[in-house]
Amino acid sequence: MVRLGMVAPLDHPLSSEILQGIQQEVGSALCWSVVAGQPWQTAPGLSAVLGESLDLLILLDGAFHPTEYAALAAQYPTLTIGPHSHFRDNHVQLDAVAASELATRHLLEMGHQHIAFVGSCQHGLLALHQKGFLDAIGKTAAPLLLAGDGSEKSGHDAVLDLLARQIPFTALITSNARMASGARLALYRRGLQVPHDVSLLALEDTSSTPCMIPPLTTVHFPGEQLGQHIACALLLNQIQPPLPHVLLPALLLRESTTSPRTS
């Protein structure tokens, strides 16, 4: 029996994919416990929920305070997953800079020159996403940077702010799917169509993004594949390689992005 614990933010899209990948490899021999973590939770509180003995504790960035990491790592074999690289041992880094670069280059290659980016201040992603966006933009286009709190409302309000200031943009990137949903609503309320008037892309893929109208183009991290790697490492009794040190994103093309109108 493989005993697995995971501490993940409530809205983290990778948690279910990682567990699914592990389940595929381990099957009925998997016994797992998932805790919806919050940054204010302490190591003793998490330990009380998780129990005394685990083969592996997976910590997704944003679900715990970094100061609690040492206490958890001292009690359990621990693997951290997230965009930050401040964990020295047993860490899989989600390359958030590469995700933003990938999305921006996709829009540039489609011919967009006026691209707005609405970043989320959640989980320390804003600086990473902005870096990837600006690195990709370079001197080829005029960057438009806005910051939100990750909610639908912040995506909605950012679009209304751009439109109220009459700042031209033909494409919009958001840090997550919820902000994209709010942005889509604001565009609809102002009579603008996606992607005919504005292309829309999110740096997060969730179960709902293929069902948006139109289906949302996203950047996706292969959580299921990572789960399969973790399962193989567990079965081999090692949390070193074959685990990847950096997980690279992939672009999922759907119907919310297209070339800008010529007139």
Whether 144 and 188 map to the same domain: the answer is yes
Whether 213 and 226 map to the same domain: the answer is no
Whether 8 and 90 map to the same domain: the answer is yes
Asked if the structure places residue 256 within a domain, the reply is: no
Predicted local distance difference test score (pLDDT) of residue 38? 62
Instruction: Give the residue numbers spanning the domain of 78.
Output: 2-94+221-249
Half-sphere exposure of 75 (CA within 13 A, CB side): 19
- The answer to pTM > 0.95 is no
Which domain CATH number covers 212?
Answer: 3.40.50.2300
| 10 burial level (CB within 10 Å; 0-12, 13-18, 19+) | exposed
What is d(CA 45, CA 42) in angstroms, rounded to the nearest whole number? 5
Whether 190 and 109 map to the same domain: the answer is yes
Predicted local distance difference test score (pLDDT) of residue 241? 45
What is d(CA 161, CA 184) in angstroms, rounded to the nearest whole number? 14
Asked if the structure places residue 261 within a domain, the reply is: no
Interval 88-122: pLDDT, tens: 668 898 999 999 999 999 999 999 999 999 998 76
Predicted local distance difference test score (pLDDT) of residue 143? 79
Question: Residue 207 has which token pair?
Answer: 């179960």
In the chain, what is the straight-line distance between the N-terminal and C-terminal CA atoms, in Å?
63
Q: What is the full per-residue pLDDT of the chain (263 aa) written as tens digits?
A: 778 888 887 778 888 899 889 888 887 767 767 666 665 567 777 787 777 788 888 888 766 676 777 788 888 888 889 887 655 668 898 999 999 999 999 999 999 999 999 998 766 788 899 999 999 998 777 779 998 888 999 999 999 999 999 999 999 999 999 999 999 999 999 999 999 999 999 999 999 999 999 999 999 999 999 998 888 887 776 555 456 688 999 999 999 999 998 86
| 144 burial level (CB within 10 Å; 0-12, 13-18, 19+) | buried
| Residue among 134, 130, 221, 210 at smallest CA distance from 175 | 130
Whether 90 and 123 map to the same domain: the answer is no
The structural domain count of the chain equals 2
Asked if the structure places residue 255 within a domain, the reply is: no
What is d(CA 263, CA 261) in angstroms, rounded to the nearest whole number? 6
